[in-house]
Amino acid sequence: MMVSRSATFIAGVLALALPLTANGFVVPPPDNLQAFLERPGNVNPSSNPIPTEDEAAFTRPSWFTSALMARRLLALSPSGVISTTFPESLSAHDPKDIAGLSIGLREYIADCDSSLPSDLSHDDNGDPTILGLRIGTTFKNIAAGSNLSLQLDWWDHLNEAGPVYPGLPLSAAALPRVTLFGYLEHLPSPLPHDAAAALEKCFLEPHPDAKVWLPGASYSPHASFWARLVVTHAYWIGGFGDVQQIGWLNLTEWQGIRPHGSVEGVGDGRGWQDIRLPGEKL
Ligand SMILES: *[C@@H]1O[C@H](CO)[C@@H](O)[C@H](O)[C@H]1NC(C)=O
Ligand SMILES: *[C@@H]1O[C@H](CO)[C@@H](O)[C@H](O)[C@H]1NC(C)=O
């Protein structure tokens, strides 16, 4: 479990019957927290009961709700950190001993699959759209055979989200993040005119500056290409493990969620537009 002992420790005191907010976050009543802070001996986690799995699970959003939050996080994320590894054969400019080292670099992304025509889209299944630059380290490593993952998080929203436990300091560690594993698939080049126009409209909304290096732009300083990350695994950290899920998302659920509802056989009728991330207004 990727949770600090102290988070679990706090949860041990607060775990029972906490109200779930609409966005899936748990808000312990302030009275409980005060009582907890004033109890003698509370500085030593080992002297406090740790909640059983059943008690803790009672306070967490379901895995499907977590998948909804993860798909919303993708939909609202304009960028994410792509991790790749340096290949064995490096350019003369690179230090000799970096082969095999991993490097995480923030890249522009957008959840634009649904803007593609049906013969080119993956039916809005959560495969992020990426505008790759051939000169970029991320894309050179991938071209040389590197695996990749894409990490998204909600940490910029700390001030709106407020503290998980009222009275405690703000904690970015309590906010959601998801890491998507998979492979990069190039979209056909050039894209049919209508498809290119639709994709550009969607992608340039969060990234108006990227107009300069769109694929085929004659004035672009760098050659670029459209691609998608075909997601094969999704690892979710909802926040502190006592009040959020941590682990592998069900890929069928990840792929089946739509803005409103989901594909047949998945979920409970809700889509990612029916949920809010910490600090968002309903
Ligand atoms: C990429 O990951 C696969 C496992 O999914 C592994 O077999 C392969 O060796 C990895 N490739 C590199 C270049 O590390
Ligand atoms: C994943 O979700 C689908 C759809 O709800 C379900 O049929 C399947 O059993 C789930 N898989 C696992 C491993 O839980």
| Residue 145 vs residues 33, 86, 157, 251: alpha-carbon distances, Å | 51, 9, 35, 24
Does residue 267 fall inside a structural domain? yes
Same domain for 248 and 119:
yes
CA atoms within 13 A of residue 217's CA, in its CB half-sphere? 19
111: in domain: yes
* Residue 282 maps to a domain: no
User: Which pLDDT value is given to residue 17?
Assistant: 36
From 15, 39, 57, the end of a domain falls on 57
Residues 93 and 79 in one domain: yes
How far, in Å, CA of 33 to CA of 22, rounded?
21
CA of 98 to the centre of ligand 1 (A): 17
Read off the pLDDT of residues 193-239 as tens digits, 9 standing for 90 and up: 999 999 999 999 999 999 999 998 877 778 999 999 999 999 999 99
Is 279 domain-assigned?
no
Residue 145 sits in a domain whose CATH number is 2.30.110.10
| Same domain? 149 vs 217 | yes
Predicted structure pTM score: 0.82
Q: How far is the CA of 266 from the centre of ligand 1 (A)?
A: 30
β pairing state of 102-110 and 129-133: antiparallel
Task: State which of 83, 102, 142, 147 you would mutate to test the pocket of ligand 1, scoring each by most atoms of that ligand within 8 A of its C-beta.
Answer: 147
Q: Which residues span the domain enclosing 120?
A: 63-274
129 and 221 in a single domain? The answer is: yes
- Is residue 216, in this structure, part of any structural domain at all? yes
Q: In this structure, is residue 26 part of a structural domain?
A: yes
> For ligand 2, what atom is nearest to the CA of residue 253?
2
Q: Are residues 32 and 149 in the same domain?
A: no
Q: Is residue 48 part of a domain?
A: yes
- CA-87 nearest atom, ligand 1: 13
Pair 13, 100 in one domain: no
Query: pLDDT per residue over 153-204, tens digit each?
Result: 999 999 999 888 777 889 999 999 999 999 999 999 999 999 999 999 999 9
Domain count across the chain: 2
Ligand having the closest approach to the CA of 149: 1
Question: In angstroms, what is the span from residue 163 Cα to ligand 1's centroid?
Answer: 39
Q: What does the block give as tokens for 36?
A: 């907890």
Same domain, 41 and 74: no
- DSSP at 26: B
Are residue 125 and residue 42 in the same domain, yes or no? no
Radius of gyration of the chain from Cα atoms? Answer: 21
How many angstroms does the Cα of residue 256 sit away from the middle of ligand 2?
Answer: 11
